[in-house]
Structure formats: C-alpha cells, structure tokens
Amino acid sequence: MTQNNDMNSQSFSNSRNNNEQSKSQTQQSQEVQDPEEELKVINQHRQIIDEIDDQIIPLLNKRAKEALIIRDLKKKAHLSLYDSAREEQIGERIAQNNEGPLYDDNLRAIYDTILRVMKEAPSA
C-alpha cells in the first residue's frame, strides 16, 4: 500500500512538473521580445481594464443608491444600520461566485471597503 501511494505521489508530482513546464513554455512563446511591441500589448491590456472600470463605476453607484434607500428605510423602521447576518451572507455569496484569480479573502477585503464607504456615504 505504501509503495502504491509513493508511486501515485511520484506520478502526480511528475504530472504537475510536466504541466508547469508546459505552462512555462506557453508563457515563453507568448512573451514579446520587442520593447515597443511589449508597450503596445501593455496599452491594449490597459484599455481593456479602462473599459472594465467604465462598467464597474456605474454599478457601484447603482449599488450605493440601493444601499442608501435601505439605510433610509432602516432609520424609519428604527432598525440598526449594521446587520452582521447580511454582511455574512454577502461574504458567502462572494465565495460561492468567485472563479478567481482573486482569492475569496481578496474579494472580501474589497467588499469590506465597499460596505464601509456605503455606511459613510451621505444621504442623497
């Protein structure tokens, strides 16, 4: 049994090494050698990031509007503004929907900032 486990472990290790070598070769083949060409590729990726940011900003503002409505309704209902159960639900949803490359903790840190800012945002 131990010999089988050792063989499986060695086989897995060899497979992992082969995958890493294959990834490394793919990355090398995708590397751009000309500095001007590299700058062009960088700028293309920056443009994609700008387009994504252009989508994120309106969504954050839309989220803020909804949060402000909820905050006003909670005040009228004499409810606490802080809802730990709701924040836990948000954290669980983040983990369920996260497909990477960010870790769950990274996304939770981003959402912690969003939630803090929403609590501090002035009412419209």
* Residue-range domain boundaries for the chain: 33-120
Contact present, 111 and 90 (Cβ < 8 Å): yes
The model's pLDDT over 9-62, given as tens digits with 9 standing for 90+, comes to 444 444 444 445 545 444 544 565 888 999 999 999 999 999 999 999 999 999
Mean pLDDT rounded to a whole number for the chain = 81
Using omega within 30 degrees of 0 as the cis cutoff, is the peptide bond preceding 101 cis? Answer: yes
pTM of the model: 0.64
The 3-class secondary structure across the chain, one letter per residue, is: CHHHHHHHHHHHHHHHHHHHHHHHHHHHHHCCCCHHHHHHHHHHHHHHHHHHHHHHHHHHHHHHHHHHHHHHHHHHCCCCCCCHHHHHHHHHHHHHHCCCCCCHHHHHHHHHHHHHHHHHCCCC
User: What is the per-residue pLDDT for 66?
Assistant: 94
The model's pLDDT over 55-108, given as tens digits with 9 standing for 90+, comes to 999 999 999 999 999 999 999 999 998 889 999 999 999 999 999 999 999 999
Residue carrying structure tokens 């501090």: 120
- Domain 33-120: top CATH class: mainly alpha
User: What is the per-residue pLDDT for 78?
Assistant: 95
